[in-house]
Structure 1
Amino acid sequence: MSDHRTASEHRTARIDDSRDGTAAGPAPDTVWLLRSRGCWQAAADLLEPQATRSPEAALSRAELLIERSLFEGDGWGDAENALRLAESGARSDTERAAAACARGYLAYCSTLLRVHDRLDEAQAALGRASALLAPGAPGRPLLDFRRGLVAEELLLDPVAARAAYRRAHAGAEQQQDDLLLSYTWRHLAIIAQQDGNLAGARHGFAESLRLRELTGFAVGIAPALASLADVSTAAEAVQLRSQADRLAGVFGGVPVPRG
């Protein structure tokens, strides 16, 4: 019999089934364990029972499925449906801003991977999120980062992107959000590399790798290794790319360049 499981489901099968969630919801550590190993669908399934009555759970589930679409290049319909549920359940300005930020990110991912051109939607949704959030709101660093992504990769405006990433970086440092910091370091390093600042790029990529190892974001380590290899000496690059290839194999060939 042929095996029709998705790449996420194959990875899930490698993890001990320690789902200790209760009627109040799954343990956050369990959801993170699955997410960090690229088992986004399994993590989303744990949140599904709570998603219809908890805006927070609905948004977390949507974010998981959006991240899956970015890494796997698939599952767009599931991500869209989950996000619509989160949008419909949002009641406060904070919840509506978070849902709009996720909407902008989904549109960005879809445009980046050339599924559909949704640049206008991405900009409008992120602008709406910005209007709903106070300057010092907890959701501001993630929003700034995502606006940087649109500026860098869709608008091809590295100046605006760098400014947005620096704001996101400062906010992530203040909130001690190491995973977001791994992303801001990564994209600041990409811009430094494009500017010919190889020392700055090496430092940024190395910091991104260190933070992904520190947080246990295992599925994101291969992209970090591959990027560091691009600005390393020839001997170091061979070793780093070999490690990245092995990890990508472990995670079912999840695309390396975009993590």
Structure 2
Amino acid sequence: MDERIQHAKLLYESAVFAADEAALDTADSELDAVEADLALARGRIAHGRFLQRGTEYDPELFERALRLYRAADDLRGQAEALFWLGIFHQLVRRDDTTAVPSFSRSRELAAKSGDSLTLSYALRHLGIAEQRAGHLGTARDLLEESTRLRRELGFLPGVAA
């Protein structure tokens, strides 16, 4: 069982048996984080099905994750959820105009939170959008920065992609 769910159980017991008034609010916050992570994970699975089978999906899971991460002020989580919203629009809907703002904000938040992997993904997909728009110099710069980050992280499959 996820540690956070187990901790919520302990917080419940603290609230009920020890009259800890703050425990339930803490439990809610921790469970919201679990829910955000779960929504993001389910969204990725839906995207995997799209890639394998062409099964379209709704971006609601990514939007839900984003709302929960925002409520928790989790910048890293927001960056990842925004990246996946961008992926939905870029790859499923073929709409770079809608995707780019999500990728750009993901880039900002990933950099701010120190999430180099999500930053590398956001840069890569911004580069793809720039390439499609005919801005080859900018596209190259973004793709090179993405590759540099992936090398630093030792993410060799991402370098090869």
CA contact (8 A) 1:185 1:204 kept: yes
Q: How does 1:184-199 map to 2 (within 5 A)?
A: 184-199=122-137
Indicate whether 1:124 and 2:60 are aligned: yes
| Structure with the largest fraction of helix | 2
Q: How does 1:1-259 map to 2 (within 5 A)?
A: 52-54=1-3, 92-114=31-53, 117-120=55-58, 123-134=59-70, 136-138=73-75, 139-223=77-161
- 8 Å Cα contact 2:120/2:146 also seen in 1: yes
- For structure 2, the 5+ residue unaligned runs are 6-29
Unaligned 5+ segments in structure 1 are 1-51, 57-90, 224-259
1:112–1:154 contact (8 Å) kept in structure 2 = no
Supply the AA of the counterpart residue of 2:145: E
Q: 1:99 to 1:198 in 2, by over 3 A?
A: same
CA deviation after TM superposition for structure 1 residue 201, in Å: 0.9
Amino acid corresponding to residue 74 of structure 2 in structure 1: A
- Extract structure 1 runs of 4+ deviating beyond 6 A: none
CA shift, 1:53, in A, is 4.4
Q: Aligned AA for 1:105?
A: R
2:10 is matched with: none
**Alpha carbons of structure 1 residues 191 and 53: separation in structure 2 relative to 1, 3 Å:** closer
Q: Distance in 1 between matches of 2:98 and 2:123?
A: 16
Q: TM-score, normalised by structure 2?
A: 0.77
- The answer to whether the 8 Å contact 1:183/1:208 transfers is yes
- Relative to structure 1, the CA distance from residue 145 to residue 96 in structure 2 (aligned partners, 3 Å threshold; closer, same or farther) is same
Q: Does the CA contact (< 8 Å) of 1:112 and 1:153 recur in 2?
A: no
